Amino acid sequence: MKENQNIEFKQSWRDEYLQYVCGFANAQGGTLYIGIDDKGKVRGIDNASKLLENLPNQINQTMGLLAQVDLHTEGGKEYISIHVEPSDQAISYRGKFYFRSGSTLQEINGVALTDFLFRKNNTTWDQSFVEEATLDDIDAESVGYFVRKAVEAQRLDANAKELPVITLLRKLKLVNQDDRLTMAALLLFGKDIERWNLMASFRIGRFQQSQANLLFQDNIVCPLIHMPERVLWTLRSRYLIAPIHYEGLQRVEPLEIPEDALREMVCNAIVHKNYLGPHIQMRVWDDKIELWNYGELPYNYTIEKLLQTHESYPRNPLIAQIFYLAGFIEQWGRGYEKIHDAFVREHLTQPAFEQVRGGFLAIIPREKFIAINTGKPVGTEVSTTPDNQTTERSGQTGGQTGGQTIEKVFGLIKENPKITRAQISHILGISSSAIQKHIDTLKKSRIRRVGGDFGGHWEILS
């Protein structure tokens, strides 16, 4: 027998060990053995009979628990076991809450304590009611946007468009029997979500070389039902590139990151965030994107389990339900499978996922951006370090090349002879100096400039 999440050994008794009883009750239950050392060897205790008599009353009086205390004998040595079942109520010992995690005892406090108390009360933060809020705090246009999306996704009947806002909120369990609004209703459809939660925004920053070198940033504040689209639009317009290619005569500009996968990760961050903690944060670097939201994984969940088929366990079930009905997410724990498939389709390296700083981090390589800016194939990783050194890793081939980029520049000039170098740079997401090099190559045999930089145009050579 070894120590684990349900077993703890102590060689002798101290009253402070009641913390372990509290921790087991708040977790999955467990047994505390007195008279056994850390290696699992029975050492015995001299006061077993006294503990057998006193401990049940002491546990009941301090924590309100009924524990099973038993006497055991091995090799002529007496030891006792204190077994406690998991409690459906939050248990405290001397005003503090403890939790057994793995083979360690942890005190719960701060944001984690609030989250724990909600969970023990069989509710969640987004289901809590806000007494001072009224229907006037709800933006009817945002509710209408949701209904249109849900009808298009065939997850609401078309007659939902005719329902009054309050009737719809009742059907969606976003108000109680007295029509008091839930926190979910105010964040999803509120006119001013920061009035109810200052941490409900989505922050995006463009970084270069180090955390201190912030080039520019955006703080997206809007009803959560609009946030995925606002975030994707901001990324497309200011942070990411959309390399142009042609499918027949049709011009196509897909985002450098598979858009359905990126949308899934953004929606997951919104749905699973612990809104009692910091903002959702996205850092865009030259070589990667880091998306972090506050909130630990559900109990007994690991990164490995998350990447397999698993049960859906949203931290904010009301927000998740609205996102599901709107067609933004799935309900069956298939989100990460969809992300994986999207990156496989485009022959890109899979994102990495980590639990860090009390939250969940997704790290997304920017392989297409690297390929276009370096002329190297997709799969070449460029990592700019704080000392301005650049390292490269050769990976899979078959992506963008310098020759393909030249052809894109030529195609844009042919399509619009008045296009400027700055416009080409913006469209392709490539530096102006890199565009100039491609233009210099094209000027040797395929194009020439007629007139000056202002008012002139390009001419295609036969």
Upper half-sphere CA count for residue 123 (Cβ side, 13 Å): 12
Contact criterion met (CB below 8 Å) for 98 and 108? yes
Beta bridge partners of 99: 106
Whichever domain contains 372, its CATH number is 3.30.565
Per residue of the chain (462 residues), what is the pLDDT tens digit? 788 889 999 999 999 999 999 999 999 999 999 999 988 899 999 888 899 999 999 999 999 999 999 999 999 999 999 999 999 889 999 999 999 988 889 998 877 788 788 888 778 889 999 999 999 999 999 999 999 999 999 999 999 999 999 999 999 999 988 899 999 999 999 999 999 999 999 999 999 877 778 999 999 999 999 999 999 999 999 999 887 766 666 666 778 999 999 999 999 999 999 998 899 999 999 999 999 999 877 666 677 767 666 666 788 999 999 999 999 988 766 777 888 888 888 888 889 988 888 899 999 999 988 888 776 666 544 444 343 333 333 333 334 456 778 888 888 888 888 887 767 776 776 666 678 888 888 988 899 888 766 567 888 986
Is residue 146 one of the residues assigned to a domain? no
Domain end, chosen from 52, 78, 108, is at 108
* pTM summary value: 0.68
- C-alpha 248/C-alpha 253 separation (Å) is 14
Q: Do 24 and 45 reside in the same domain of the chain?
A: yes
56, 77, 108 — which closes off a domain? 108
Clarify whether residues 410 and 376 are in a common domain: no
Contacts made by residues 194-201, CB under 8 angstroms, sequence distance 24+: 194/221, 195/137, 196/130, 196/133, 197/275, 199/275, 199/276, 199/277, 199/278, 199/279, 200/224, 200/275, 200/279, 201/279, 201/280
130-145: b (≥16 Cβ within 10 Å) or e: beebeeebbbeebbeb
Cα separation, 419 vs 96, whole angstroms? 68
Q: Which of 108, 128, 160 is the last residue of a domain?
A: 108
pLDDT reported for residue 378 = 62
User: Residue 213 CB: number of other CB atoms within 10 A?
Assistant: 11
384 and 425 together in one domain: no
Residue 40, in any domain of the structure:
yes
Q: Is residue 365 part of a domain?
A: yes
Judgement on whether residues 412 and 273 belong to the same structural domain of the protein: no
Asked if 383 and 284 count as a contact pair (C-beta separation under 8 A), the reply is: no
Tokens 């920061």, residue located = 194
15 and 92 together in one domain: yes
Looking at the domain assignment, is residue 50 inside a domain? yes
Asked if residue 409 belongs to a domain, the reply is yes
Same domain, residue pair 286 and 377: yes
364 lies in a domain?
Answer: yes
> Does residue 247 belong to any structural domain of this protein?
yes
Q: Look up the domain containing 33 and give its range.
A: 7-108
State which amino acid sits at residue 388.
N
- Length of the chain (residues): 462
The tokens describing 140, both together, are 């009817």
Domain identity same for 372 and 241: yes
* Count of structural domains within the chain: 3
Report the C-alpha gap between 84 and 64 in whole angstroms: 12
**Structure tokens given for 181:** 């609004």
β-sheet bridge partners, residue 457: 450
Phi-psi region of 298 (alpha: psi -120 to 50; beta: other; left: phi over 0): beta
Residue from 64, 15, 445, 157 nearest 460 by CA? 445
Is residue 227 within a helix (H) or strand (E), and if so which, with residue range?
helix 227-234
Q: Same structural domain for residues 350 and 243? A: yes
In a domain, 351, yes or no: yes
339 neighbors 330 (Cβ within 8 angstroms): no
Domain with residue 103: its CATH number is: 3.30.950.30
91 and 213 in a single domain? The answer is: no
Q: Do 343 and 440 share a domain, yes or no?
A: no
Q: Note whether 284 and 340 are same-domain residues.
A: yes
Q: How far apart are CA 222 and CA 191, in angstroms?
A: 8
Q: Residue 454's domain is classified under what CATH number?
A: 1.10.10.10
Judgement on whether residues 285 and 377 belong to the same structural domain of the protein: yes
